[in-house]
Structure 1
Amino acid sequence: MSEWPESLDEPLNRFIEHLRSERRHSPHTCVHYQRDIERLGQPLVEAGCSRWSELDVHGLRRHVANLSREGLGGRSIARHLSSIRRFYEFLLREREVRDNPALDVRAPKSGKKLPRVADVDQLNHLLNAAPDDALEIRDRAMFELIYSSGLRLAELVGLDLTDLDARAGDVRVLGKGGKTRILPVGRQAWQALDDWQRIRRELAGEGEQALFLSRNGNRLSPRSVQARLHRWGLHKGADQRLHPHLFRHSFASHMLESSGDLRAVQELLGHADISTTQVYTHLDYQHLARVYDRSHPRAKRRKSGDSLDGGQAEP
């Protein structure tokens, strides 16, 4: 690392002291600010600059591009820019600079992470596992219903007995924004719900309408559902950590894979915008690509480094 001139070092030290003494930031936060600013200053030093005022918006954009090339994601770069913006606000106050080059520079958008899903065989294995006690009968009914109808966790724990319509074979769900939707319930989920409701009568207090109850007879909390699903996975041999949204994601992916009907899956999930549902088309393509690679004897897709003639691509 090149040696820093005092004209860069001294304002940075004053800024960190300002954060520590005036803004009452923790030592941990101050360390992060200092690291971010030092990372900005190093290329200035290497370019022979001696003052923070020599950084302009074009130089800052080059710095952001370098951070991206080094592998930092959008959120990390946004944090760097926040630190730089704050630093230059301090320098403006101290009349060390005339403007803040970070005001109009934005971090690149982070790529959306694809939701994880479980494959059909694993879910069948988990849901076909025999419950060991009354609470596991309740648990299987919950998990069957999430996977059968694609419920959110909040929708599941908010269900009342009156939301089930056994004659029509559906469930009424109160979703985001207070919107109600009617969802079909599969045969195996209905059977699991019937098994649970026979036991539920013994736990429910007077007038309790919640569909899913704790051992104390109260409405089950979201945290309890998460803990019970994690426990179910451990006891029944899941090969990944189970959580309620994994079942909802798996419902959506498997429905789209089988039907190809994006609009229908959007309605079932209760998404206001179809772009939210479109993430599952990427999951579906990944599945199809894996099947293609695994199954077709002469159609293995090229790896990114292979050229069209079968040799190595030129650098």
Structure 2
Amino acid sequence: MSSQRCPLQKDIDAFLDYLKFEKNSSRHTLAAYRRDLKKLSDWLTSQTISVWSDISEKRLRLWLAQQHENGLQSKSLQRLLSSVRSLFRYLNRQGIVEDNPAKRLSAPKASRKLPVTLDTDQMDALLRTCDNDPLTLRDQAMLELFYSSGLRLSELVGLNLGSFEEDYQRVRVLGKGSKQRIVPVGRKARAAIRLWLSARAMLPVKDEQALFLSQRGERISQRQVQNRVKQQAREQGMPTSVHPHMLRHSFASHLLESSGDLRAVQELLGHSDISTTQIYTHLDFQHLADVYDKAHPRARRKKDKD
């Protein structure tokens, strides 16, 4: 590997400085750009490219294909291409290049993993509790609300006492992109919330507005909620990998399985694109396919006879 410096490195460094000082990009974002553009500068050096105009769409496509052959996965390729596009947009604004050869390229789509859910029996076990101490009542209310209304972790943590309507029958949540939506609250979740509110007064209240408080009376953090969900799962003899988003997945899967109303589930989850919600139809079909494979006489695999 040649230690020769890339002739175009000064422009790449200027772009990174722009991200740092003018765009105020985070340390994490800068590190990602730096890693991606290091791959680009290494390639430019290996190809002895010394002017930006020598980089054509075809050459970039071949380079990306090589990266893929060398083991770079779809998500990493998508990020790499995004970094290169951003660099060329900057160079274009600076008058250094006339065209962006990366703008018409696309990386291979990453295969979408199906979400992991709990079945109804597992959910019943997770929501089962006998203790009446304030923190247990708080945890019960959080779990019930996750499963009842399909909330994201950030949405639940951000709830205030005034977020509810119609005697706790509906709750207003602030979702992604600061979009507000109103979702129904189930009967058991409403009962759990009322029990928690009666116990909430027993804690030192520092955040008067927050619905869910930590032991010190401050708004509960996302990490604390994650830990409490894992702890409840362990106490019920369930996998320690249970996390809050799994309850949202379970809410969506069970609701879609019962109703078949994709649009309604999309609305309740706050998905801007229905294709995001459609992942749960694949999950439901996978479940049906598994049942078919196990039950249908023509689908069952016969044991090999010796």
TM-score by length of 2: 0.70
| Aligned counterparts of 2:187 and 2:134: Cα–Cα separation in 1 | 22
Deviation at 1:136, TM superposition (A): 1.7
Aligned residues of 1:75 and 1:110 also touching (Cα < 8 A): yes
| Aligned counterparts of 1:103 and 1:282: Cα–Cα separation in 2 | 32
Q: Which moved more, 1:200-209 or 1:153-162?
A: 200-209
| Aligned counterparts of 1:152 and 1:28: Cα–Cα separation in 2 | 26
Larger Rg: 1
Q: Match of 2:214, SS? A: coil
Amino acid at match of 1:190: R
Q: Deviations over 1:179-217 (max 9, x none)?
A: 341403133x23433432332232264993543222233
Q: Match of 2:127, SS? A: helix
Q: Deviations over 1:272-303 (max 9, x none)?
A: 443332221122122222222222232259xx
Q: Deviations over 1:234-262 (max 9, x none)?
A: 34333142322221111001110122111
Q: Match of 1:249, SS? A: helix
| Aligned counterparts of 1:152 and 1:109: Cα–Cα separation in 2 | 25
Amino acid at match of 1:244: P
Please name the residue that 1:179 is paired with. 180
| Aligned counterparts of 1:99 and 1:267: Cα–Cα separation in 2 | 41
Deviation at 1:66, TM superposition (A): 4.1
| Aligned counterparts of 1:103 and 1:206: Cα–Cα separation in 2 | 51
Deviation at 1:99, TM superposition (A): 8.2
Please name the residue that 2:25 is paired with. none
**Equivalent residues in 2 for 1:151-230, closer than 5 Å:** 151-157=151-157, 158-160=159-161, 163=164, 165-166=166-167, 170-176=169-175, 177-187=178-188, 189-203=189-203, 205=205, 208-230=208-230
Amino acid at match of 1:160: L
Aligned residues of 1:159 and 1:173 also touching (Cα < 8 A): no
| Aligned counterparts of 1:245 and 1:274: Cα–Cα separation in 2 | 18
Percent of aligned positions that are identical: 41
Amino acid at match of 1:57: E
Amino acid at match of 1:186: R
Are 2:85 and 1:117 equivalent residues in the alignment?
no
Deviation at 1:162, TM superposition (A): 6.7
**Equivalent residues in 2 for 1:289-300, closer than 5 Å:** 289-300=289-300
Please name the residue that 1:286 is paired with. 286
Deviation at 1:101, TM superposition (A): 4.9
Specify whether residues 40 and 229 from structure 1 end up closer, same or farther in structure 2 by C-alpha distance, changes over 3 A only. Answer: farther
- Matched residue count: 281
Aligned residues of 1:163 and 1:173 also touching (Cα < 8 A): yes
Aligned residues of 1:37 and 1:84 also touching (Cα < 8 A): no
Deviation at 1:39, TM superposition (A): 5.7
Query: Which 5+ residue runs of structure 2 have no aligned equivalent?
Result: 21-29, 302-306
| Aligned counterparts of 2:172 and 2:65: Cα–Cα separation in 1 | 46
| Aligned counterparts of 2:125 and 2:275: Cα–Cα separation in 1 | 32
Please name the residue that 1:246 is paired with. 246
TM-score by length of 1: 0.68
Aligned residues of 1:155 and 1:173 also touching (Cα < 8 A): no
Query: Which 5+ residue runs of structure 1 have no aligned equivalent?
Result: 45-49, 302-315
Deviation at 1:20, TM superposition (A): 7.4
Q: Match of 2:184, SS? A: strand
Specify whether residues 98 and 276 from structure 1 end up closer, same or farther in structure 2 by C-alpha distance, changes over 3 A only. Answer: closer
Q: Match of 1:181, SS? A: strand
4+ aligned runs moved over 4 Å, structure 1: 12-42, 50-56, 83-87, 97-104, 204-207
Amino acid at match of 1:298: R
Are 2:260 and 1:260 equivalent residues in the alignment?
yes
| Aligned counterparts of 1:27 and 1:217: Cα–Cα separation in 2 | 37
Specify whether residues 254 and 41 from structure 1 end up closer, same or farther in structure 2 by C-alpha distance, changes over 3 A only. Answer: farther
Deviation at 1:61, TM superposition (A): 1.8
Aligned residues of 1:37 and 1:83 also touching (Cα < 8 A): no
